[in-house]
Chains A and B, each alone.
Chain A
Amino acid sequence: MPILDQTACDLRNALRQGDLSSAEATEAFLAAIERLDPTVRAFVSTDADAARARAADVDRRRAAGEDVGLLAGLPVAVKDNMTTADGLPTACGSRILEGWHAPYNAHVVERLTLADAVIVGKTNMDEFAMGSSTEHSCFGPTHNPWDTGRVPGGSSGGSAAAVAARLVPVALGSDTGGSIRQPGSLCGVVGMKPTYGRVSRYGLVAFASSLDQIGPLARTVGDAALLLQAVAGHDPRDSTSVQEPVPDYLSALDEPVTPLRIGVPKEFFAEGLDAEVGRLARNAIAVYEGLGAEVVEVDLPHATDHAIATYYIVAPSEASSNLARYDGVHYGYRSSGHADMIDMYMRSRSEGFGDEVKRRIMLGTFALSSGYYDAYYKKALKVRRLVRQDFDAAFAQCDCIMGPTSPTPAFRMGERLDDPLTMYLSDLFTVGANMAAIPGISVPCGFTDDGLPVGLQILTGVFTEDRLLRIARMYERETDWTDRRPPVCEESA
């Protein structure tokens, strides 16, 4: 099988057995990026020389019989909101950070380095991870490999498209309201948001601190498990990262979870859901029934409409605070020609931030303002507790919850740019997991008649990523959606 078509786990085995060198693998993916990325535009920066040097180093160490890491020699990509100290800039899709080089590595980048992975580049994203289409980037939009006239989803659209177009076997994304799972769904790849606190946020440029979580985008469930294994675990630099031990996600992956009781909330199949998406999600659940699973109806009265409303209070509030530091004083973009200090603040921020970011900063600033705090932020925190209680109650009746990841398949580029409210509804089914801190995964569950991929979302309780992965794997084994190659690969092949 061609290198590009192999899963990360297959590549890893080939590398370990000496059937493949990291240099060969890295070269193959770098060539694919060179060939296809002008069309897909998944990457905002690459460092081919550093990747080649790294690959050669891993090959040499392996040949010398030295111990090498979990991902030794495997090419990976990292979303552009994770800091990289060596060479690659970190811009978060924003003009305000364009050209900024972090003097420190994000925890996940350190972990990838320790695992001897080969970081080939940084992937495109909505500015500061605010968006569901990867159109809000100062570097321009990323295109969906299944239909380049459509969006890849977002905000981790670059990572999802890169994996889908086979420009890299696995990539890291970040998920604040669905930013891994929704682009995973729209690009036909596996996207997983771990439990809040499972992966350190140190060096993840903050959007909404209480919701942000880093996770894998991968072609298969096994690949997602592999990448999660490499980055999960406690980090003393992140007070919200937990001390829970990290189980071995890979060893028991193929063991089905039995008996399995699946909770299906009617709220996930409500008005606004695309009919084809709904049908494909139900078909997927039927596959589980075929495997002996029991389906029960559960209620999540606050997990969709209420969750999205409160999400757009909590996330912008935290964002308005987190983004206050971009002021042109210490680093990043500074407007020229300012009259005084206040003018410098205003011009730098007005010119440095895009419209969507400004919209959310204003929303959040308003919600935290004196006299409005109780009515908005405080109330949102109360609703957030209700969302959590919904999931607690549901998990008392079932092992996992299933439904579609996104209400629609990939939409046309530009279609929702002038309609932020419709854009916000892209996260209708995904924000609940962020509000409740629980893990969630999107696995490919078929294609629409137009050939657009659709994802099935599976949610489980906190720190049960191992079970979540096993449940997802049960379905993947019964289907072959992950074997399909997007048209963009065929066209230029």
Chain B
Amino acid sequence: MSQADLIPTIGMEVHLHLATRTKMFCPCEVRYDAPPNTCVCPVCLGMPGVLPVMNGLAVELAVRMAIALGCTIPNFAKWDRKHYYYPDLPKNYQISEYDEPLGLGGHLDVELDGETFRVGITRVHLEEDAGKLMHAEDGSNTSAVDLNRTGTPLLEVVSEPDIHSAQEARAYGEALRQLAVYLGVGHCNMQLGQMRFEPNISLKIGDAPDGSPVYTPITEIKNLNSFRSVERGCAFEIARHRDELAADPQGYTLAKQGKSTRGWNDDRGVSFLMRSKEEAHDYRYFPEPDLVPFVPEPEWVERVRASVPELPAARRKRFIIDLGLPEYDARVLTDDRAVADFFEQVAKAVGDAKTASNWMMQDVMRVLNERNVPIANLGVTPAALAGAIRLVEKGTVSRATGTEVFAKMVETGKSAQAIVEDENLAQTSDAGELEAVVDAVIAENPDAAQEFAKGVDKAVGRLIGMAKQKTGGKANPKVVRELLIQKLRA
């Protein structure tokens, strides 16, 4: 077997914070900017005698995500306690869902370089996040604990090992993020630690004599918090597995070495061993007796299902097929749900999707990128943009002036109509008024008629420019052009 035949086989565990105002089991606010230990109460501090109460919105968001991933929503899910001792976990157990999670068996279609691959979703479940330790760097060997994050609703999506390269791992992570944001399930701000990735990596070596596949030992990289680190971490592990296998072709197998857990040093770009198979935790899971099982009414599940919006892939397809947009435009416009919604409102108001798309691509996206703001902060409503587009379509202003008008709308918040009126930007389309201008231009350029006769179209362009100059830019180029051709031909 050659090294080239080794197939990377990757499953991902993705954790993301749900977009709830309060924590999973207590009414504390979820905040990322608060001073340490100020968003806490006896419940999330795990004090004696307190009890958890389930956050209904967190469950709804989790089920929405599970539905969007095509999961089955079982009619019974339960909470379990997962035990391990660590100072950022005040109860020394985490409330999670172990063997009966709220979503089972779905998939996500991911695009990479124009190709689509499907990743199976094993399960979706809810749990509570832990706090944060801050290790002193003064050599005092002490750590401070901040429990603001403790109890933040955390959604875990576990995939099947259907990912076969570092690039695919990254693309899967990005697709999952897009979906969660699209659904309003999570904000997925990577800088705030709202999304974390744990790929499980091994290489398929070949098949055993009995036909069962043979793999290299699985390594799980813990707590990757950027797409870049997902891609680099997976690539590093794939290469490391190849080297290990080359050094020990018989011994470096899953059957012989099991699973280990590794950390990722992003500065050095290397992974390092955290726990071998022998040191694996025994989490002593058992059903959480302080919470009742989650038994959703079928009507409730259907209501959540109905709240799932059209997903990016389906929307993209519809923009291409039904609205006739180019694939590139359709992709740009569907990446962000708010942008897609904005576009659809503009298209509807204007009555022409392609024109609306042009404006979105050329004007709106440019402003958003320049200013690095979400479309909600654009300061221009879809109706206002449609107003600007209509002025161009009617010929009140030129397309180029339209872009200027839009930029002024963004700056001032005024309507297109008001800007055109205030700044006297409307162009002159009156043929009688423009005829004199055209005559003058022709008179000033005696060789123009000759050039035109030779079929040099450039001449017309030059003359239009001159006509515009004479009118202070207000001459409607279309009308001028028609008049010029008419007169030069004569």
Contacts and interface: CB of A to CB of B under 8 A. Distances in A.
B91 A324 contact: yes
Given A325-B90, A368-B286, A90 B53 contact: no
Contacts of A341: 87
Given A325-B48, A341-B87, A103 B42 contact: yes
A325 B49 contact: no
Contacts of A318: 286, 289
A104 B41 CA distance: 10
B303 to A, nearest CB: 22
Given A97-B48, A209-B289, A237 B53 contact: yes
Contact of B83 (A81, A202, A237, A321): A321
B92 interface: yes
A239 B50 contact: no
Nearest to B79: A239
Interface in B268-318: 282-286, 289-292
A104 B42 contact: yes
Given A321-B286, A329-B145, A239 B87 contact: no
Given A83-B48, A330-B90, 15 more contacts: A82-B49, A92-B48, A102-B48, A103-B47, A106-B49, A237-B51, A239-B53, A239-B54, A239-B291, A321-B83, A321-B93, A321-B286, A324-B85, A324-B93, A345-B85
Nearest to B141: A340
Contact of B49 (A102, A345, A365, A370): A102
Interface of A: 81-83, 90, 92, 97, 100, 102-104, 106, 201-206, 208-210, 236-240, 317-318, 320-321, 324-325, 327, 329-331, 341, 345, 365, 368-370, 373, 377
Given A325-B92, A369-B282, A370-B282, A331 B47 contact: yes
A67 B51 CA distance: 32
Contact of A102 (B47, B87, B92, B93): B47
A368 B286 CA distance: 7
Contact of A330 (B45, B53, B81, B283): B45
B46 interface: yes
Nearest to A371: B282
B188 to A, nearest CB: 29
Contacts of A201: 49, 51
Contacts of B54: 239
B382 interface: no
Nearest to B292: A239
Contacts of A370: 282-284
B52 interface: yes
A238 B54 CA distance: 10
A237 B87 CA distance: 25
Nearest to A317: B286
A82 B286 CA distance: 25
Interface of B: 42, 45-54, 81, 83, 85, 87, 90-93, 145, 282-286, 289-292
Contact of B46 (A97, A102, A330): A330
Contacts of A106: 49
Contacts of B87: 327, 329, 341
Contacts of B81: 321
Contacts of A202: 49-51
A370 B50 CA distance: 28
B49 A238 contact: no
Given A321-B93, A345-B85, A377 B49 contact: no
A365 to B, nearest CB: 7
B290 A240 contact: yes
Nearest to A238: B51
Given A239-B292, A325-B90, A377 B51 contact: no
Contacts of A236: 53
Nearest to A90: B48
The 8 tightest CB contacts between A and B, nearest first, are: A324-B92, A209-B289, A210-B289, A368-B284, A205-B48, A205-B49, A203-B49, A370-B282
A203 B90 contact: no
Nearest to A206: B49
Nearest to A318: B289
Contacts of B93: 321, 324
Contacts of B291: 239-240
A244 B38 CA distance: 36
Contact of B91 (A81, A204, A325): A325
A321 B45 CA distance: 16
Contacts of A81: 49
A368 B93 CA distance: 13
Contacts of B45: 330
Contacts of B292: 239-240
A359 to B, nearest CB: 17
26 contacts: A82-B49, A90-B48, A90-B49, A92-B48, A102-B48, A201-B49, A203-B50, A206-B48, A206-B290, A208-B289, A209-B290, A237-B51, A237-B53, A238-B51, A239-B51, A239-B53, A239-B290, A240-B51, A240-B290, A240-B292, A321-B284, A324-B93, A325-B91, A327-B85, A330-B46, A377-B286
Contacts of A240: 51, 289-292
Nearest to B288: A209
Contacts of A321: 81, 83, 93, 284, 286
Contact of B52 (A239, A327, A369): A239
Contacts of A97: 48
Contacts of B286: 317-318, 321, 368, 373, 377
A369 B286 CA distance: 10
A26 to B, nearest CB: 27
A329 to B, nearest CB: 5
Nearest to A328: B87
Contacts of A324: 83, 85, 91-93
Contacts of A203: 49-50
A357 B19 CA distance: 41
A103 B291 CA distance: 23
A209 B95 CA distance: 14
Contact of A83 (B49, B92, B283): B49
A52 to B, nearest CB: 27
A209 B90 CA distance: 18
Most chain A beta-carbon neighbours within 10 Å: one of B48, B90, B93:
B48
A307 B54 CA distance: 31
Contacts of A237: 51, 53
Nearest to A377: B286
A385 to B, nearest CB: 14
B49 A369 contact: no
